[in-house]
Amino acid sequence: MNETAVASVPAAKAASGVASTVPVPAATATAGTPDGAFLVHGLGGTQYDLGSMHKRLKNAGLVTHSLTLPGHGTTPEDLANVTAEDWIDAVVTKYREIRDQHPRLHVMGMCMGSLLAAVVAQREQHEKGNLVMLAPPVYIDGWATPWYRSLRPLLYTLPAVRNSMKIEEEDPFGIKNEQLRAIVKAKFERGENFHYRWVPLECIRQVDRLRAIVMKAASRIRCPTLIVHARQDELTSLRSANFLVETIGGGRARMVVLEDSYHMVCVDNDREIVAKNVLEFFGAALPGATAALVNDPRMSREDLATAVGAATARLATGDFAGLRELAIPDLTWVQPGTNRVSGVHAGKTYAAFASRMAQGGDPRLVAFGTPVFNRGVALVPATLTASNDEAILESQGALLFAFHGGKLLEARWFADDVEREDAFFGAPEPVVEGVVSLDTAFETAAATSKTLRKAPDNDTLLALYSLYKQASMGDASGERPSALDMVNRAKFDAWTKRKGVGREEAMREYVALVDKLKAAEA
């Protein structure tokens, strides 16, 4: 359900101006199929343009789809022969491919991607979901656009110039937050391929053509539309958003104005506001149990009862790690008290919590009472039991589950007697000042692995993958991929070979391997 369908065609094909997706027979949405979201990146960009929107949408239970636009993902020179029609064709093709796979399909784009999303919405008479336009550049008139911007139509008349002139990305890179900007600057200096450093002038001409198409088409958009625009957008002023709201009209379009961001709204200071508004607009789950009370859970009471039953069955056997299979990737577990297992464990740290629980005297949640349901939330009386050589724990309390779209978002244990649990599990591990924790070292190594200039050989890549999975998710689970899916099969096998390796050992090995690769580069 949370699979990301990123178009993964060879880079050369993506650059050739051919639509970057291969049409496949459309699957028909069946009951229980989650909603989908189709995300389109901007000019010269990649999915980095959309920040963590993929992850947030997945966490909210949506399946995300994206594509690499023609001319992108390779080198800027490949943009020279790409036309606005090529981009439109690629997006329309992808849209038609995925349209019938979901009961609702939302379309969202960033910058030029938002113009393409609008064209798709108009041409396909998209009414199967909503449309989100992030920083749409209908007018190129932001406060930092250079003085010679109005001269470009003159240069368009000279083919040699428009094909050879490079239009560079420059400070402030669309980012107001100076720390983030420094990171983006460093990425450019390292030559990371997350965004082109320049685009040909011809490419700007194609964007201008696309702008003209959107100006004509906007009035024929039929779906509810959300336009998110920063007041201080340095590339395109609020005039663009106002134009779209007025032109789409009919009460279908509304606008969110951001006050603390520049153009890259998904990564800048207001990214949380953007995410919240987009999730709300898509009717998706907002994070947290409280939000589950507010949102439409997109589950019937029966579905909720079944989901709670599945979760309690896992917990009754002490399978805290297995609970993740029923949950979103960022499952949060809140454990009260001041002890070895207490705290807020979310996302990657959940695996550490499950591992600690497994070492904590075989804890289980048993003696479940009758659940109480309210929208997507269920409250279940239960008893936490555990035992070791010295003591037996029987702690009564209640377990609160928050669900959305069939997936567990959050679980909170409320113990009647927290001190009893503190006594049983023991004091938390002291925080050693000045010493980097293994978790931190692991996360740092994971980030570092993405900055390796030279791709490691296949064996090393498999070792990195398997150690990472073992450290973050524990033993391999699920079905072994088919022999035709060679890459994923090899990855799965490599992970399976690590079975039984402890989380901390896997983390240490992973950190050591990344350090070794980085040192070799130096």
Partner 1 sequence: MQHVVLILFVVVTYLALAALSAMVAIAPTDAWTVWLASGIALGVLLATSIARWPVVLAGALIGAALFALWLGSPWLEALGYGVIEVVAAFAGAYFTSRFTGLPARLELPRDLAALVLAGALPLSIVGAVLATAWHMVSGGTQAASTFGIWFVANFVGTVLIAPLIIAWAAFRPKRSGGLAMPAFAAGAAACALYVISMHLLFDNHFQRAGVIAHIGLTYVPMVFMALTALLWGVRGATLAAFLGAVIAIINTAQQEGPFANANGIVAEGELQVQGYAVALALTGLLIAVLAASQRAAMQRARDWRTRFETAIDAHRMLAYEWDPASGRMAVTGDTLHLLGVPSSALATLADWLALVAGDERDGIAARFEARRDGQGTGDSVAYRVRGNADNVVEVTDEARAVRDHDGALHRVVGIVRIVPATAA
**Where does this chain bind partner 1 (CB under 8 A)?**
142-149, 165-172, 174, 178-179, 181-182, 199, 201, 204, 234-235, 263, 334-339, 342-344, 428, 431
**DSSP character string of 385-433:** EEE-SS-EEEEEEEEEEEEETTEEEEEEEEES-HHHHHHHH-SPPPP-T
Rounded-to-integer distance, Cα 117 and Cα 99, Å = 13
Nearer to partner 1, 169 or 330 (CB): 169
Give the total residue count for the chain.
522
Count of CB atoms situated within 10 Å of the CB of 19: 24
Rounded-to-integer distance, Cα 126 and Cα 291, Å = 29
User: Between the CA atoms of 356, 359, 362 and 366, what dihedral angle is there, to the nearest 10 degrees?
Assistant: 0
Rounded-to-integer distance, Cα 389 and Cα 368, Å = 26
Count of CB atoms situated within 10 Å of the CB of 301: 11
Shortest approach of partner 1 to residue 294 CB, angstroms? 19
Nearer to partner 1, 97 or 421 (CB): 421
Quickly tell me which residue has 């920063």 as its tokens: 230
Nearer to partner 1, 180 or 245 (CB): 180
Environment class of 187 (CB within 10 Å of its CB; exposed 0-12, middle 13-18, buried 19+): middle
Nearer to partner 1, 155 or 461 (CB): 155
Shortest approach of partner 1 to residue 343 CB, angstroms? 6
Nearer to partner 1, 429 or 457 (CB): 429
Nearer to partner 1, 102 or 263 (CB): 263
Environment class of 409 (CB within 10 Å of its CB; exposed 0-12, middle 13-18, buried 19+): buried
E strand or H helix that includes residue 453? none
Shortest approach of partner 1 to residue 342 CB, angstroms? 5
Shortest approach of partner 1 to residue 464 CB, angstroms? 25
Residues 39/131, Cβ–Cβ less than 8 Å = no
Rounded-to-integer distance, Cα 324 and Cα 305, Å = 18
Shortest approach of partner 1 to residue 270 CB, angstroms? 14
Nearer to partner 1, 344 or 487 (CB): 344
Nearer to partner 1, 97 or 233 (CB): 233
Nearer to partner 1, 137 or 406 (CB): 137
Shortest approach of partner 1 to residue 84 CB, angstroms? 17
Pairing state between β 364-366 and 377-387: antiparallel
Shortest approach of partner 1 to residue 255 CB, angstroms? 22
Shortest approach of partner 1 to residue 19 CB, angstroms? 25
**Where would I find the H helices in 330-370?**
349-358
Nearer to partner 1, 257 or 334 (CB): 334
User: Three-class SS of residue 168?
Assistant: strand
Amino acid identity of residue 383, one-letter, is T
Shortest approach of partner 1 to residue 237 CB, angstroms? 11
Q: From the CA atom positions of the chain, what is the Rg in Å?
A: 25
Quickly tell me which residue has 């979201």 as its tokens: 37
Shortest approach of partner 1 to residue 176 CB, angstroms? 12
Nearest to 16 by CA among 68, 67, 76, 81: 81
Angle (CA) 380-386-388 rounded to 5° is 175
